[in-house]
Amino acid sequence: MELPSIVPPPFGTPWPEAPADVAGMHWMWLEEAAHFATENETPWPYDLRLHLESGFFEPPPDNRILGPIRPRGPANGLVLRRGFKIASWGDTDQADFTFSAAKSYLSMLAGIAVMDGLIADLDEPVRRTVDDGGFDSEQNRAVTWRHLLQNTSEWEGELFGKSDLIDRNRNLGLEGKGRKGDPRPLQAPGQHWEYNDVRVNRLSLALLRRFRRPLPEIFRERIMDPIGASNDWSWHGYSTSSVEIDGRVIESVSGGTHWGGGMLIHAEDQARIGLLMLRKGEWNGKRILPESWIAESIRPCALNPVYGLLWWLNTNNARYASGPANSFFASGAGGNLTWIAPEQDIVAVLRWCDPTAIDTFIRLIMQAVVE
């Protein structure tokens, strides 16, 4: 008899577990995967402030920390199949910063904005509904919501004390090893793909302008509370990122922890978010996100087929050779990953795993799949 899919109870009640064989998995490979993830912790130091100030992402003065930061904990994670917990390691209730995994959460908020009619068309220029001067220049006038969500906006400017120049010519394959920030001629919006934290933060501010309420409030009410998440997570911006809206001073949150701030969350809550995406936006019979939005989020970008709307894809097995081609990821620096494999009904969360070891971890999980 096949194991039925379940919706886990709210946080605070033990997550239902299933033996490997009942879940259609081979226990030996599952145990090997958990052991492997534990033994292959990220080489990053525990003192994240020291790491950021060391110039890992960029040299001074561009590396100045603007948001909160705190030391990370040890490696941890868990694997779900059909909603059941079938493996875990370390302290999965350990709340840590997630770096760029937060970008995928901004994408989910954009889906809520579309659902609520605050964004009528992803291909509409942002300036039509966001009038704060950030999209007035000749370079930025044509920037659409889709451009911002796909990292193809070529938005130019300074935001909260950080210039988009900092992340120009950024090569993620050389992160922490090579130069970036070299000037290059900007192309028209939609004509060049580039991973750029300043531009993602510009998206976050644009979403704040549309919701007119703090994004963490929206995220809690519309996503985290309905899926039974804990109260242990928090989302932060910078000391420089507060804006006034309707007479209220609101902090605009960041899409990463590049300069501090971002999402502070633990593996259990990340697993719930992954399960929501796996279930195409539905939770316990309730529609949280439109199914059409989930499909749009994981549609390959023409300029970068392994990227959707702030979600990483595995198109043609190009990102992780051992993973299914239709799997997708929320990914953050330092080895923070939520891996979603729809056909296998698997969600796995890795915290602080050495990025060079992730493909092997995925291979071990895939080897464990029996049915």
Query: What does the pLDDT look like over 309-341, one tens digit per residue?
Result: 999 999 999 999 999 999 999 999 999 999 999
**Greatest extent of the chain over all pairs of C-alpha atoms, in Å:** 62
What is the predicted pLDDT for the residue at 179?
66
Q: Is residue 50 located within the same domain as residue 187?
A: no
Q: Which residue has the higher pLDDT, 353 or 4?
A: 353
**Confidence category of residue 180, pLDDT binned at 50, 70, 90:** low
Q: For 154-180, what is the mean pLDDT?
A: 83
Shared domain for 242 and 324, answered yes or no, is no
Chain-centroid distance, C-alpha 361? 19
Is 18 contained in some domain?
no
Same domain membership, residue 189 and residue 118: yes
Q: Are residue 229 and residue 327 in the same domain, yes or no? A: no
Backbone angles phi, psi at 224, to 5 degrees: -70, -45
The pLDDT, as a whole number, for residue 175 is 62
**Are 204 and 232 found together in one domain?**
yes
Backbone CA torsion sign across 322, 328, 333, 335: negative
Answer yes or no: do 83 and 179 share one domain.
no
Q: What is the pLDDT of residue 213?
A: 98
Q: Is the pLDDT of residue 269 over 90?
A: yes
> 2 or 339: whose pLDDT is higher?
339
Q: Of the candidates 205, 233, 253, which is a domain's last residue?
A: 253
Non-local CB neighbours of 187 within 8 Å, separated by 6+ positions: 154
In this structure, are 82 and 112 located in the same domain?
Answer: no
In a domain, 129, yes or no: yes
Report the range of poorest mean pLDDT among 6-20, 175-189, 253-267. Answer: 175-189
What is the mean pLDDT of the segment spanning 244-266?
97
The one-letter amino acid code at 70 reads R
Bigger pLDDT: 143 vs 176 = 143
**The predicted structure's pLDDT at residue 9:** 97
Is 109 in the same domain as 82? no
Asked if 226 contacts 286 with a C-beta cutoff of 8 angstroms, the reply is yes
Mean pLDDT, rounded, for 150-172: 92
Q: How confident is the model at residue 189 (pLDDT cuts 50, 70, 90)?
A: very high
In a domain, 269, yes or no: no
Residue 9 lies in a domain: no
Q: Tell me, what's the pLDDT at 169?
A: 80
What is the mean predicted confidence (pLDDT) over 211-219?
Answer: 98
User: What is residue 5's predicted lDDT score, i.e. its pLDDT?
Assistant: 93
At residue 184 the predicted structure's pLDDT band, cuts being 50, 70 and 90, is: confident
pLDDT at residue 1 is higher than 60: no
Q: How confident is the model at residue 183 (pLDDT cuts 50, 70, 90)?
A: confident
Q: Which domain holds residue 229?
A: 103-253
Residues 109 and 248 reside in one and the same domain: yes
- Same domain, yes or no: 82 and 147: no
Q: Compute the distance between CA of residue 50 and CA of residue 198 in angstroms, rounded to an integer.
A: 22
What average pLDDT does the segment 199-228 reach?
98
Whole-number pLDDT of residue 371:
79
> Do the domain assignments include residue 279?
no
Q: Would residue 16 count as lying in a domain?
A: no
In a domain, 247, yes or no: yes
What is the rounded average pLDDT for all residues in the chain?
96
Contact predicate 329/340, CB 8 Å: yes
CA 34 – CA 14 distance, rounded (Å): 20
CATH of the domain at 173: 3.40.710.10
First to last CA, the chain: 11
User: Do 44 and 152 fall within a single domain?
Assistant: no
Among the candidates 253, 268, 299, a domain finishes at 253
- Among the three residues 231, 253, 275, which one is the final residue of a domain in this structure? 253
Rg from Cα positions in the chain: 20
Q: Does 124 lie in the same domain as 78?
A: no
The number of folded domains in the chain is: 2
6 domain-assigned: no
